[in-house]
Amino acid sequence: MTRSRPAAIDARDAAARTGTSYPDPFKKAVAARSKRALGDVFGLTHYGVNLVELSPGSWSSQRHWHTHEDEFVYVLSGTLTLVTDDGETALTAGMVAGFPAGRANGHHFINRGDTPATYLEIGDRNADDDVHYPDIDLQLVAGDDGERVFTHRDGTPYR
């Protein structure tokens, strides 16, 4: 029997996970990031929706871009600094940003304010997606078993 899923919830009731699965050298900047995987609550399989909170000084991720995944961000509260190859842009509540798949323009958000900032992060769940991190020796690719694995740019897995 398939477990029944709710049709609606209060987003704050979804389990929050803090931190990152990045290898040790790259964890610190995102250690205080909190994500609530809202799409998972409903069993969504074609796209993901995360409610993200960045405490002051925290980063959303290392700067990155996706080969096969579109990303869309909607700022709910606070002020974020969007960092891309083109420079920095301040984003406030009500502003949006989008990142098409395959465009090699690394991006991430930094909370340089004094209060937490929250945003919705929406993206595909494309199994063929690889993630590239232009500022550091890191990529996320499909491993031999099909699971995604962090590797150095030369393909050597992080241990």
pLDDT in tens, 55-106: 999 999 999 999 999 999 999 999 999 999 999 999 999 999 999 999 999 9
Tell me the whole-structure pTM to 2 decimals.
0.92
> Where are the chain's structural domains?
16-127
Please write the tens of the pLDDT for every residue from 15-27.
999 989 999 989 9
Strand, helix or coil for residue 94: coil
In sequence order, what are the residues at sequence separation of 6 or more whose Cβ sits closer than 8 angstroms to the Cβ of residue 22?
A: 30, 62, 138, 150
Cβ atoms of 19 and 31 closer than 8 Å: yes
CATH architecture, domain 16-127: Sandwich (2.60)
